[in-house]
Copies of this chain bind each other. A is one copy, B any other.
Amino acid sequence: MGVKEKLWILTAQCPSRLGTVDAVTRSLVESENYIVALNSFDDKATGSFSIRVEFRPLGGETSLRQFREILEPRAAKFDMQWQLTEPEHQTRVAIMVSKYDHCLNDLLYRYRTGELAIDIPLIISNHPDLQSLADWHGIPYVHLPVTPETKPEQEAKVWELINEHQCELVVLARYMQVLSPEMAARLDGWAINIHHSLLPGFKGAKPYHQAWAKGVKLVGATAHYVNDNLDEGPIITQGVQAVDHSHYPEDLVAKGQDVESQTLAKAVRYHIEKRVFLHGNRTVVFPD
């Protein structure tokens, strides 16, 4: 069979209305673009429409150009936001970390092997600890220590770096600083955070200690978009694992690292594969 064929991806979203699917699918067939897989969902909770299409342009560049020309006016009528993603597109990702390295290590591995189709122009950290891990992968590591006093200034630098490197996604891979409301607002909807609990349970600090105190038999992790509401951003995916009486808080911290890494990697993959649609505080996710 060979490796999974790389395909073009069309994603679009707009308010719910009759004809949204047809606006997309008719435009594709008229421009000789072959649909391989399609998912659409009309969410009555938010009154929103989401569609994701994997397709193959039979006429190459001509098909793609024609598709854009045909879709544009139709999309406009529906207030439809749409986006084409090239088969070989590598999403530019800035990763922010502190001292924990399990999520970073996992992301770098998936980056290195090409499992995640990403470029990582830089890693930003408020600690110097993970420099050598970044070095080995040949990725610039920017150390920006944060104190209450320097926070605004350092966040400004982070923002500048993200823009300078034209990042399309920011991943908080166990970045242990609370973002200022301004920074959170700037990253709203295009930064992914991993929280080490099944949110909204155990928000805030030391969730494993909270979980242990309650004697839970399952712990988990939540990958969500950053917004201006700490630990309350729209959830992308969640993972879970069983624990028992023999696990003390520090054991949970250790034990939870696998599920954190996997949950974050899954969310990043869903995002870069354009499987996640954000409508207010809710997500529509078309998994593979």
Contact = CB atoms under 8 A, between A and B. Distances in A.
Chain A contact patch, size range: 35 or more
Given A21-B25, A26-B26, A38-B40, A284 B109 contact: no
Interface string A28-43: 1100101111111111
Contacts of A287: 244
A46 to B, nearest CB: 9
Nearest to A33: B18
Given A198-B198, A198-B201, A1 B249 contact: yes
A159 B249 CA distance: 39
Interface stretch (A76-84, A117-125, A235-243): A235-243
A281 interface: yes
A105 B108 CA distance: 11
A168 to B, nearest CB: 23
A6 interface: no
Contacts of A19: 29
Contact of A42 (B37, B43, B235): B37
Determine chain A's interface SS by DSSP, over half rule. Answer: mixed
Interface centre among A217, A218, A285 (most CB of B within 10 A): A217
B245 A41 contact: yes
Given A102-B113, A284-B245, A235 B250 contact: no
A216 B199 CA distance: 8
A31 to B, nearest CB: 11
Contacts of A250: 1-4
A246 to B, nearest CB: 6
Nearest to A17: B34
Nearest to A42: B36
A104 B25 CA distance: 43
Nearest to A133: B136
A215 B276 CA distance: 13
Contact of A22 (B3, B26, B39): B26
A149 interface: no
A32 B240 CA distance: 40
